[in-house]
Structure 1
Amino acid sequence: MEKETTIYGIRSIIEAISSEKTIDKVFIQKGLRGELFQELEKLLRQEGINNSYVPIEKLNRLARGRNHQGAVAHISPVEFHSLDDIVLDSFEQGKPPLFLILDQLSDVRNFGAIVRTAECTGVSAIIIQKKGGAPINGDTIKTSAGAIFKMPICKVDHIKDAVFYMQSSGIKVIAATEKAERLIFDISFNEPCAIIMGSEGKGINPSVLKLVDEQAKLPILGDIASLNVSVACGAFLYEATRQRI
């Protein structure tokens, strides 16, 4: 899997982007200079591709002895879908759509586990942000048990974009947050809706929380204040499933 989804070298990455390969993330050596580097930087900005500047030691680890020339890129093993098309198609299925929005989830195994549960519960699509989220790699594929190839995934510039689009399309947006006053069991999931799950460390961005239609939390009876995000997501999705069947 790694040989098929990793590219080494600036020129190779430029060629891959120009060939419309779906690039998940590009790692660039800090302090890199030169015309070819500037061409890559410009292309990354134009295409909105997730990238980060890292020490050469990290690139060496990623390249595992290969000549990376200051840049390594991961090609996504899946194609991403247009949010417009997915929303339109979901309403044509004859049942209320259920979407899942992940606000910069960072752990690939959590991401994979969530994709697996989402596929099992009939989620219409998962929406993620172009930058700042977990990459789709071999660990994601393995943890999802292959569900990543069955679940439509859409990328947006900002999570707020997805919230606004959902609301303008008649889809209720529900935030899963321990800050909510209402329990999950008091929320209706029978209409078209989208559930937002936050990142492992910070939860849902406060600016996003201000935009949602509903906030809901899970009851916590023990001393630990929160659940693992993939576990919490599973509880939300299965409550939605319970209500719908």
Structure 2
Amino acid sequence: MNEFEKTSKIEGRNPVLEALKSGRQIDKIYIKKGEIQGSAKKIFALARANKIIISEVDKQKLDMMSETKSHQGVIAIAPVKDYASVDEILAAADKKQKPHFIVIADRITDPHNLGAIIRTANAAGADGVIISKHSSASLTPVCEKSSAGAVEYTPVAKVTNLVQTIEKLKKQNIWVIGADMDGENTIYTQDFSGNIAIVIGSEGEGISPLIKKTCDFLVKIPMYGEVTSLNASVAGALMIYEAVRKRHEM
């Protein structure tokens, strides 16, 4: 299954324009190269105003994505489920009257991995997952399937700037703990008590440098073999469940 198969697509200039005007959540808009004129210009301006990613592609890609075969040079990709806001995640966490537990996925580009992380977050009782609008997988059908239905129960917020979001969480007295191979503590020695947000980095590059600087703590997973890295969703699961174990022992 490719990234777009069975995804909620909005095709054609007027349908996409009306979807934007109505405030419908959209992950990304694909526009044919050289077609930014007329109604497409309005789409471009509204998408930019709403900080929606725009990708200019050739007609062949749009034809491949299209289900109606009348895309008019514009296709919008909508998530399989509406995103929550960070404030909504925090408000729901407050109602539980327990220490906050949030998972942040930084540059997780593989929808299978993102789905697996959301599944683990749900199983661990996390309050929600935060992802970035840029350089990140979205709530596609592949992600939904990999989550085993967890996207229906665990709120996912998609933000423009993860650094600013992390700073916001820190002002809410939430400790931000990043998974990093150069961390001072291991997952076995780190204190996971209180309000926490765990940051899981990308499959190849880990946490971005700016995110790393913003974290309160960096924590590593001990590696004893010849392989020096783990799949992002596996590393995330190990760290999330070590936090669960320690929090439930208290």
Measured against the shorter chain, the TM-score band is: over 0.9
Written as runs of structure 1 = structure 2, the 5 A alignment for 1:58-97 is 58-63=61-66, 66-97=69-100
Is structure 2 residue 101 aligned with structure 1 residue 119?
A: no
Contact 2:117 2:233 in 1 (8 A): yes
Matching residue's letter, 1:74: I
Q: SS of 1:51's equivalent?
A: strand
CA distance in 2, matches of 1:3, 1:108: 14
What's the CA shift for 1:33?
2.8
Written as runs of structure 1 = structure 2, the 5 A alignment for 1:97-176 is 97-176=100-179
CA distance in 2, matches of 1:135, 1:60: 22
More displaced 10-residue stretch of structure 1: 209-218 or 153-162: 153-162
CA distance in 2, matches of 1:222, 1:29: 48
Cα deviations across residues 67-122 of structure 1 (Å, max 9, x unaligned)?
Answer: 22212111112122221232133133121111011112111111111111110000
Aligned pair in 2 of structure 1 residues 3, 202: CA closer, same or farther (>3 Å)?
Answer: closer
CA RMSD of superposed structures (Å): 1.6
Q: SS of 1:90's equivalent?
A: helix
Is structure 2 residue 32 aligned with structure 1 residue 42?
A: no
Contact 2:7 2:140 in 1 (8 A): no
Contact 1:49 1:131 in 2 (8 A): no
Is structure 2 residue 43 aligned with structure 1 residue 7?
A: no
Aligned pair in 2 of structure 1 residues 103, 4: CA closer, same or farther (>3 Å)?
Answer: closer
Equivalent position of 1:226 in the other structure: 229
What's the CA shift for 1:46?
1.0
CA distance in 2, matches of 1:22, 1:75: 6
Matching residue's letter, 1:203: G
Aligned pair in 2 of structure 1 residues 203, 55: CA closer, same or farther (>3 Å)?
Answer: farther
What TM-score do you get using the length of structure 1 for normalisation?
0.94
More displaced 10-residue stretch of structure 1: 52-61 or 175-184: 52-61
CA distance in 1, matches of 2:6, 2:42: 25
Matching residue's letter, 1:31: G
Equivalent position of 1:189 in the other structure: 192
**Matched residues, number:** 245
CA distance in 1, matches of 2:204, 2:70: 35
What's the CA shift for 1:43?
0.4
CA distance in 2, matches of 1:170, 1:60: 49
Equivalent position of 1:214 in the other structure: 217
Cα deviations across residues 1-34 of structure 1 (Å, max 9, x unaligned)?
Answer: 9567111112211111212221122122222231
Q: Which runs of 5+ in 1 are unaligned?
A: none
Q: SS of 2:27's equivalent?
A: strand
More displaced 10-residue stretch of structure 1: 152-161 or 26-35: 26-35
CA distance in 2, matches of 1:20, 1:81: 14
Identical pairs, percent: 34
